[in-house]
Amino acid sequence: MFEDLCGKTIIVTGGAQGIGKGIALQLLRLGAAVVIADQDEEAGMETLSEYAAWGEVRFVQTDVADEASAAHLAAEAMAWRGAIHGLVNNAGIANPGATPVEQLSLDAWNRVLAVNLTGAFLCVKHAVPHLRRARGAVVNIASTRALQSEPHTEAYSAGKGGLLALTHALAVSLGPEVRVNAISPGWIDVSAWKKSRQRSLPALRPIDHAQHPVGRVGAPEDVAAMTAFLLSEASGFVTGQNFIVDGGMTRKMIYVE
């Protein structure tokens, strides 16, 4: 279904671990050339080694919150392949220790927003001239936390909410040459998708799965499938939208009994 992705060059930020790693693998399996951008050099080099057999893949150590680093990422992708057809803004960090707002430092707040929101802006800014020429697509990985919250997630929720607004703003500004959409994952278990020294088997209980109308907790492959669709020509009439990939969890009313 996504044959048009074959041969295209796609950047995946935060692509060395977690959801981003799952997205990178899916795209490689579909024949895309993938630039894995990640700040963690150990995870990046490990993923590069694991994925080399799947196709054309390159690792570029990147701090998306640093403009020079974001510019370097786009330049490296162009030097490698001569084009950028897709950008997946997946890099993100959470509130440190789920800190209560009255204890949350300004530095911690700024760092979360810098990575989760400003980082996406910077990567688009430096990739967009090449995306325009390729009539490419951007996928921003937000979160259901942009729509609902747990306690003490102010910086994370604000950053992901801003990413949804950035998504529709960019879709209007960059169309028709570039389409921009977002995915808001729910509970995605990434325990098996971390670098090897932090990897573990899933520790999920029946009650965890039962919270989801589909009957299970999500996996990176679930987000990767939607990402491939939004990068492909199959979604050519779709832009400025947010797709919730959460197994229906945010549609389920929960009462304390």
Rounded Cα–Cα distance for residues 213 and 215 (Å): 5
Output the CA–CA distances (angstroms, integers) from residue 183 to 10, 88, 136, 166, 198, in the order listed: 17, 10, 17, 13, 26
Taking a C-beta distance cutoff of 8 angstroms, is the pair 32, 8 a contact? yes
Tens digits of residue pLDDT in 56-115: 999 999 999 999 999 999 999 999 999 999 999 999 998 777 789 999 999 999 999 999
pLDDT for the residue 104: 94
pLDDT for the residue 257: 67
Q: Model's pTM, two decimal places? A: 0.96
Where in the sequence numbering do the catalytic residues fall?
156
Q: How many CB atoms lie within 10 A of CB 30?
A: 21
One-letter amino acid at 61 equals Q
Q: Which residues of the chain have pLDDT under 50?
A: none
Taking a C-beta distance cutoff of 8 angstroms, is the pair 240, 168 a contact? yes
Classify domain 3-251 by CATH number: 3.40.50.720
DSSP state of 218: B
The ranges assigned to domains in the chain are: 3-251
Cis? peptide before 100, omega within 30° of 0: no
